[in-house]
Structure 1
Amino acid sequence: MHRRTKIVVVGAALLLTAGAAGSATATGDPGKSPGAAGKSREAAALTGTAKLYRSAGDDITFSFDAHLAAKDKADPMRATGTFEWSHYIDGEGAWAKAKVDCLVTGGKVAVVSGVVTDTDLPGEKGTRVGITVHDLGRHDRLGYSWATTEDLGPEDLPKCVGSAPFEKVRKGTGDFTVVPWQPDF
């Protein structure tokens, strides 16, 4: 084989190898975390922050940092993390933070629940709330368990219960990320 032909063949082989490695990294194995050879990824997650759209100009923000470790894959009630939200209009409103007690995800939808640990809403500390997120890229949607009540809802709300994701996020703010749960059934 001529020297020039060898260089072309070796160069093409290197490009194909690099392309295959890049594709494997980009698509990823759903059971593995990128860059962590052989390590399992977390079983489920919901992360990110977005502001909701309201035509009246309400300033409503939701943030999530909820995770289910790979070792807890069979029990979504072992999820950890926090989520918080605030709702203000004309300088008046409130905020709350909850400790995650359950996280279930399926495809691009997540339901997370938790108990309010800190808030400026009188009487709401200790209340369980649930939120549903639909991760649609820049068009994420969200729903919450207190959608049809005056307060944060019933104190006996079961874990991992939220409403349909009926709210739209404000344009340009949707960055929720859902890692789908893949239980071994």
Structure 2
Amino acid sequence: MNRRTKIVVLGATLLLTAGLTGAAASAPASPPKPREGAALTGTAKLHRSAGDDITFSFDAHLAAGDKADPMRATGTFEWSHYLRGDGAWAKAKVDCLVTGGKVAVVSGIVTDSDLPGAKGTRVGVTVHDLGHRDRLGYSWATTEDLGPKDLPKCVSSAPFEKVEKGTGDFTVVPWQPDF
């Protein structure tokens, strides 16, 4: 094949490819899945210089259709705290989730625990999603136990605790209510 023929064939191939690519790009795409109304997911260990083994895990979601009511959130969160073999764990059913930017406040009722008297107590946790430098706070920060039985939904403390380096993988989906 001579040079001129090769150039014509190459040019035609490029034009045909560009036309097909343009047609594919303009083809209707499937509708995007609606974004969640809000979410808090992930696990991290807290940093304590005394060597405490403290872990928090979240799987909390607010459906797109429920974004006007953060008390329709679903999911669970759990935590454990041990030091030299002593400690406890607990799991809570989510009853409220509010997020703003990279901060989330979630509350729930303790459904299972090996801590005496914990079941049935409402607790709240705050997470600040900073990549691998996440921070966390909890409603019982200033009490000797899990706090008052009448704690309101979506109440917690500022995220004052630092997660252990390399363990922070919390993800916060910001709440965007329609008002």
Question: 2:124 aligned with 1:133, yes or no?
Answer: no
Q: Which residue of 2 aligns with 1:109?
A: 103
Provide the rounded CA distance (Å) in 2 between the counterparts of 1:138 and 1:73. Answer: 28
Question: 2:167 aligned with 1:169, yes or no?
Answer: no
Q: Alpha-carbon deviation of 1:6?
A: 3.8
Corresponding letter in the other structure for 2:169:
D
CA 1:158–1:36 in 2, change beyond 3 Å: closer, same or farther?
Answer: farther
Q: Which residue of 2 aligns with 1:63?
A: 57
3-state DSSP of counterpart to 1:2: helix
Provide the rounded CA distance (Å) in 1 between the counterparts of 2:106 and 2:159. Answer: 12
Q: How does 1:50-129 map to 2 (within 5 A)?
A: 50-129=44-123
Q: Which residue of 2 aligns with 1:181?
A: 175
Corresponding letter in the other structure for 2:118:
E
Q: Which residue of 2 aligns with 1:5?
A: 11
Q: How does 1:141-160 map to 2 (within 5 A)?
A: 141-160=135-154
Is the deviation greater in 51-60 or in 37-46? 37-46
Q: Alpha-carbon deviation of 1:8?
A: 4.2
3-state DSSP of counterpart to 2:88: strand
Q: Alpha-carbon deviation of 1:150?
A: 0.5
Provide the rounded CA distance (Å) in 2 between the counterparts of 1:16 and 1:90. Answer: 64
Q: Alpha-carbon deviation of 1:7?
A: 3.6
**Seq. identity, %:** 79
3-state DSSP of counterpart to 1:39: coil
Corresponding letter in the other structure for 1:130:
G
Q: Which residue of 1 aligns with 2:3?
A: none
3-state DSSP of counterpart to 2:98: strand
Is the deviation greater in 9-18 or in 121-130? 9-18
Q: Normalized against structure 1, the TM-score is what?
A: 0.84
Provide the rounded CA distance (Å) in 2 between the counterparts of 1:142 and 1:37. Answer: 36
Provide the rounded CA distance (Å) in 2 between the counterparts of 1:41 and 1:150. Answer: 39
Q: Alpha-carbon deviation of 1:121?
A: 1.2
Q: Alpha-carbon deviation of 1:112?
A: 0.1
CA 1:93–1:42 in 2, change beyond 3 Å: closer, same or farther?
Answer: same
Corresponding letter in the other structure for 2:76:
T
Q: Alpha-carbon deviation of 1:12?
A: 6.5
Give ranges in structure 1 of 5+ residues lacking alignment: 21-34
Q: Alpha-carbon deviation of 1:172?
A: 0.9
CA-atom RMSD, angstroms? 2.4
Provide the rounded CA distance (Å) in 1 between the counterparts of 2:152 and 2:164. Answer: 29
